[in-house]
Amino acid sequence: MKIHNPFRVALVATLGVGVGLLLIGSIQALSTILLYVGTALFLSLGLEPIVGWLEKRRLPRWAAVLVTILGVLAVFAGIILAVVPIIVDQIVQLIGQIDVIVQTSNLDDIVEQVRQWVQTNFPGINVDQAWQYVENWYTSLDVGSIGGEIGGSIIAILGTVIAGFGGAFIVLILTIYFTASTPSLKSAVYQLVPASKRPRFIDLAEQIVDSVGFYVIGQISLGVINGVLSAIFLTIIGAPFPAVLAVVAFFFSLIPLVGTLTGSTIIVLTCLIPGLGGGGGLFGLQSPTLALVAAVYYLVYMQIEAYIVSPRIMNRAVSIPGAVVVIAALAGAALGQLLGALVAIPVAASILIIYRQVIIPRQNER
């Protein structure tokens, strides 16, 4: 019987634990970089069918990549130009209304009206005592520290926005690189597989790449259809901020399974809020009739999308059972939030391809 040295066993075990902790720490430290790389790979696979289609039209690879990237940038630039001016205009209007109220109203009169309203509706409250408590609390505040906290919050928000734009720029550069060098990257990966198994591996890999690409293109197509139809419908019925709500419909449609329902719910609730500008359009609808009409439209649209539009668009992607979609989306969201939920579906499709074409045939041969 071979006797192991206890010191050697303990040393190897300790080193193994240390290496494991080091790997976990490295992954956590590089989580942002890995997120950028994963996002860029996901987008490049989604753009690959478009690039391949352009190549079949006798465009060189670099020109096909350039046209595809410029098209994507043009779409997002159009969305930003459509939404940002509306948001800025609404903020300016809100500030103008507040300024008018402040200039035309006497603060003492407003305070007195509030005190009378509270006294009338809540007779059990000692208004004078409560108001004195508010005044004492306001007097005891350190205005300097509050200003510092507000300034720090503004700086943190600006830092987050700048970091977001920086991350988006990095993802854009990586996406362009991955899209342009997809053939060489795939060839390098294929060379790692033994020659005897290489043809089978290439076949599976190409199926997975095509499935992921068609899934991404299909999901974006569903988002575009929902966004365009929402913009037309919401403009006709006179919903508030139709361009903004159409963008909401587009982005939420990118989320599999529950995205359209969530986006539709937000739009209906927005139409339900009075005073947001409804009443225009061809029918002059007001809330809550406006919200009811929107709810009926989105209920009908979701049925058409689920049974007619989505099957036709997704017919070239891998068919995934509904339960697998739910589990994959929940697991992906837990690991990587929204991006994880989006990437989890193509990953599940890839696993299904391997399961159906590798594992099941091997089990049948036994």
Residue 199 CB neighbours (<10 A): 11
Contact predicate 131/114, CB 8 Å: no
Q: How far is 258 from 266, CA to CA, in rounded Å?
A: 13
Residue 254 CB neighbours (<10 A): 19
Q: How far is 132 from 70, CA to CA, in rounded Å?
A: 62
Low-confidence ranges of the chain (pLDDT < 50): 1
* Phi/psi of residue 61, nearest 5 degrees: -55, -45
Contact predicate 246/211, CB 8 Å: no
The pLDDT value given to residue 277: 55
Contact predicate 261/277, CB 8 Å: no
Q: What is the pLDDT of residues 10-32, one digit of tens each?
A: 777 788 877 877 777 776 666 67
The pLDDT value given to residue 225: 92
Q: What is the pLDDT of residues 226-247, one digit of tens each?
A: 999 998 998 888 887 787 888 8
Q: What angle do CA 262, 265, 90 make, to 5 degrees?
A: 105
Q: How far is 294 from 231, CA to CA, in rounded Å?
A: 12
The pLDDT value given to residue 1: 47
The pLDDT value given to residue 41: 81
Please give the model's pTM, rounded to 2 decimal places.
Answer: 0.66
Q: What is the pLDDT of residues 92-145, one digit of tens each?
A: 665 665 566 556 555 566 666 667 766 776 666 666 777 677 666 656 655 555
Q: How far is 271 from 169, CA to CA, in rounded Å?
A: 35
The pLDDT value given to residue 192: 85
Contact predicate 332/343, CB 8 Å: yes
Q: How far is 225 from 290, CA to CA, in rounded Å?
A: 22
The pLDDT value given to residue 269: 87
